[in-house]
Structure 1
């Protein structure tokens, strides 16, 4: 018998729109378990993993740090400049991430869970959740936050944003839109309202 939650919120948005902020608030304040695609994606390329072996076969050992771990910064520069390379990497990692969500969600034993999946729509993982939430902010805020967080140039930040599905398109697909262009209090009020509302299962 599975203990998978009956309500699974798929939390997504654009890069640097505030997904982690929302997830942390839900976990800390409402004690709802969070499963994070980024953590599973890191696990997928840990030392000795079959996926890391394939990446090294393609790019050579220069793609590794001196300790043998994947040089994620270097790989990021490659895949954000070449959509075919990004697609190749995603086709390796997404099945692993999907399997981890299925496995780990069965252990939660909670009525509600949150899956943080940046590529929820792009990776076609909406079947794993019962509702979709998109975290939104303005393009200017997104650029500013990304530049500050990742120490990027304006051009680098713009290339990372443009590599993703447009945020407006994600909003059109969402059951809930959380506007993170205002104050933390305003965002928290929206989260509470969204948690309290009931959405028919799709």
Structure 2
């Protein structure tokens, strides 16, 4: 098990996936909360059964999989549905993430989670790395990537911790507003720092 965990987070559209891939290229293993969030609602899981009972069969695609777009629409239009869903999914996601982290063997590992700070997952990490962008850039990148309208992206941004609060809780920050070569250099510097910090753990 990697004894040193770096929590990688940032708002929607900040480039968390790109940064994670750069760390992966250096041999750093990771677990991704977004992937785990999909795994815990796969057909046959207790979570999907509970969601179907609560929202009805209409929440499923014809394949039996969760209709994510429908679910997102429901929870963003009803606060009590959102709270119910979070109380169901967050403990299941947390438990699975921690189990997966235990299996990693690189000198240090990443816990990649958009809601790392909101869901208090930072209590399981040694460093918090925030990927940061000005909010206007964040909005335009997320709209282009997700083919979503401005209102929907703004609603997601509003549901996340504020940029200023996120930066306040960061141990390390990568500003992702320039070239890929600049990002490579920033990741490389942090990689060396994390390797030193990981080996300093008794």
TM-score greater than 0.5 by the shorter chain: yes
Counterpart of 1:18 (choices 15, 20, 27) is: 15
Stretch of structure 1 that moved more, 91-100 or 77-86: 77-86
Residue 128 of structure 2 corresponds to residue 128 of structure 1: no
Give the whole-Å Cα distance in 2 for the aligned partners of 1:152 and 1:102: 32
Residues 113 and 153 (structure 1), Cα distance of their counterparts in 2 relative to 1, 3 Å cut = same
TM-score (norm 2): 0.91
Counterpart CA distance in 1 for 2:137 and 2:80 is: 28
Q: Which runs of 5+ in 2 are unaligned?
A: none
Say if 1:10 and 1:132, in contact at 8 Å, map to a contact too: yes
The Cα shift of 1:149 comes to: 1.2
> Which residue matches 1:173?
169
| Residue equivalent to 2:54 | 58
Q: CA deviation at 1:158?
A: 1.1
Matches within 5 A, 1:72-87: 72-87=68-83
1:8 and 2:27 equivalent?
Answer: no
Q: How many aligned residue pairs are there?
A: 197
The Cα of 1:84 is off from its aligned counterpart by: 3.2
User: So what's the TM-score if we normalise by structure 1?
Assistant: 0.91
Q: Once the two structures are superposed, what CA deviation does each residue of 1:121-144 show, in whole Å capped at 9, x if it has no partner?
A: 111111211111011111111111
Q: Does 2:39 correspond to 1:49?
A: no
Q: C-alpha distance in 1, partners of 2:141/2:44?
A: 34
Q: What are the Cα deviations for residues 94-146 of structure 1, in whole angstroms up to 9, with x where unaligned?
A: 11121112212222222211110111111111121111101111111111111
Structure-2 residue corresponding to 1:115: 111
Deviation at 1:50, TM superposition (A): 1.0
1:77/1:104 Cα in 2 relative to 1: closer, same or farther (>3 Å)? same
8-17 or 179-188, which moves further after superposition?
179-188
Instruction: Please give the secondary structure, in 2, of the residue aligned with 1:111.
Output: coil
Work out whether residues 23 and 191 of structure 2, in 8 Å CA contact, stay in contact via their aligned partners in 1.
no
Q: Does 1:90 align with 2:77?
A: no
1:30-45 equivalence runs, <5 A:
30-45=26-41
CA contact (8 A) 1:136 1:177 kept: yes
Task: List, as ranges, runs of 4+ consecutive aligned residues in structure 1 with deviation greater than 6 Å.
Answer: none
Give me the CA root mean square deviation: 1.6
The gaps in structure 1 that reach 5 residues or longer are none
Distance 1:95 1:168 in 2: 27
Distance 1:138 1:24 in 2: 22
